[in-house]
Amino acid sequence: MRPNRPFGWIVIAALSFGLVPVAFGQSCREDLNGDGVVDSPDLALLLAAWGPCLVSIDSFTPPQGASLGGTTLTITGFGVGTATGVTVGGVACTGFTVLSSSSVLAVTPPGAIGPAAVAVVTPQGTITAATPFQYVQASILAVTPPTGGYNGGTAITITGNHLNGVTGVRVGGVPATNVVRIDSNTVTAVTPPGSVGTVAVTITTAKGTATAAGAFTYAPVNVPGWATLLEAMPDPAVVTDASRRQGIEATGFAWRVRDDASQIEMVLVPPGTFNMGCSASNQYNCESGEIPVHAVTLTAPFYIGRYEVTQAQWTAVMGSNPSGFTNASGQVPAGQVPLRPVERVSWNMIQAFNAATGLRLPTEAEWEYAYRSGTTTAFHPFSGHPSGTNDDTLVGNIAWFTSNSNSQTRPVGGRQANALGLHDMSGNVSEWVEDIYDGTYYAWSPPVNPAGPVSGSVRGLRGGSWISNSGQCRSSLRGSGTASQVNNNFGFRAARTP
């Protein structure tokens, strides 16, 4: 503690001029011994303390930190600005900085768990704080996401206690990359490649470690570097066909991921061959642009949005919402409006969204292949109809269309998914595809990875919308619009190459 430094000149002046002291029992700041009288004993106390004022520590914060070291202490007190260093537990701190005459900074060294004395080194000697600093065990509370692909590249966030001083992270004993200490409780890193299975995550410093056993699992699939793993293997309750599940697993890529740039959930579509073109329903025949039916082979897997792109997802990337259906309704409460599909987006506008995120539109062949998910019917598979259906009276199970939409879009995912887990492939909004549209293209399109004509003035649209009849929701129905055209029933579904 800092000794009192009373106004000694007042005491001397009082004695010199014979000033009458206060009555016994009362005190004043000149009464150093507290006997109620300012007299010679008070002067003796003053003279005994004569000389330079001693440095003192009033407080330091925080009062505790990791045993790994790395905690930045702020020390305040009288005259600490004259200090030349700080020790904790007798070990010199690093990062010593004088902030002012009454405040300094220092970074704790590693130390044993428990109390450790805090001392300020000054030209007059070493001054020790009245209370010690407490070294506590650094710990990892959680690692998110807890699962990633064995090829590495998963961005993980490590949360815990007293993570100051972390300089490295190991996953399964292998150094992670891009290690960033966000704050005393958060560290981020990118996983290295590893072996399939559950492994420990360890944070490291120059003189200590903290480990969370079994905190991360390497999945037996590849996860694209642009994505976060949601589900490694296809869910049999969603992808009910065993051969289709095997096709997904054979690609080596995760079934379900989240695109990091847009937060869009995507599922994997395996390569394969299908018959593209005319699938009439019970009530509607095919149009000329849907013929002839022709075999198409897609040689590479691709990811496609599980849902149509929502207003919230578009706004998060582009900063504004062009949609027409932005208000609540009797069927869509205010809290669900952001989950309506974005609409009034042109093909050209979508190119800006894709440039910002690294996404793309599916080709027309990819879109129809994903819609059909192994079937040849007018309408895709759904619960109770694993082979699809041609029955127009059942379309309400899979689509918001003119018969049930109440003339508006609905939050995505409200109708039953197809056999790949994709929702709203029929109805809600018509979806732009990448291709230039040509009504005669099927007569001369290539049989492998068709990408549409190389020239033309309009682009393709697929799937029907909230204003469509059931025939316009068929798997093979083709639509089109100019690249700059906007409409409140035009939206899109994103795709991406692994």
Strands 256-259 and 227-231 turn out to be antiparallel
Other residues' Cβ atoms within 10 Å of the Cβ of residue 123: 9
Pair 91, 112: CB distance under 8 Å? no
Question: Residue 459: in which H helix or E strand, if any?
Answer: strand 458-462
Pair 267, 419: CB distance under 8 Å? no
- The single-letter DSSP state of residue 389 is B
Q: What residues have CB less than 8 Å from 272, skipping those under 6 apart?
A: 247, 297, 298, 369
Beta bridge partners of 139: 161
Residue 347 one-letter amino acid: W
Q: What residues have CB less than 8 Å from 20, skipping those under 6 apart?
A: none
Pair 231, 262: CB distance under 8 Å? no
Question: How is 182-217 classified by DSSP, letter by letter?
Answer: EETTEEEEEPPP--SEEEEEEEEETTEEEEEEEEEE
CA–CA gap between residue 164 and residue 182 (Å, rounded): 9
Write down the pTM of the prediction.
0.63
Q: What is the pLDDT of residues 377-417, one digit of tens each?
A: 999 999 999 999 999 999 999 999 999 999 999 999 999 99
Other residues' Cβ atoms within 10 Å of the Cβ of residue 15: 15
Domains and CATH numbers, the chain: 8-48 (no CATH), 56-136 (2.60.40.10), 139-219 (2.60.40.10), 242-496 (3.90.1580.10)
Q: What is the pLDDT of residues 328-362, one digit of tens each?
A: 999 999 999 999 999 999 999 999 999 999 999 99
The structure tokens 């520590």 sit at 57
Each residue of 356-377: b (16+ CB within 10 Å) or e?
A: ebebbbbbbbbbbbbbbbbbeb
Per-residue pLDDT of the chain (498 residues; tens, 9 = 90+): 344 443 443 333 333 333 344 444 446 777 777 788 888 887 777 677 676 667 899 999 999 888 878 889 999 999 999 999 999 999 999 999 999 999 999 999 988 889 999 999 998 889 999 999 998 877 888 998 888 778 788 889 999 888 877 889 999 999 999 999 998 889 999 999 998 899 999 998 765 788 899 999 888 788 898 999 898 888 989 998 888 898 998 898 999 999 999 999 999 999 999 999 999 999 999 999 999 999 999 999 999 999 999 999 999 999 999 999 999 999 999 999 999 999 999 999 999 999 999 999 999 999 999 999 999 999 999 999 999 999 999 999 999 999 999 999 999 999 999 999 999 999 999 999 999 999 999 999 999 999 999 999 899 999 999 999 999 999 999 999 999 999 999 999 999 999
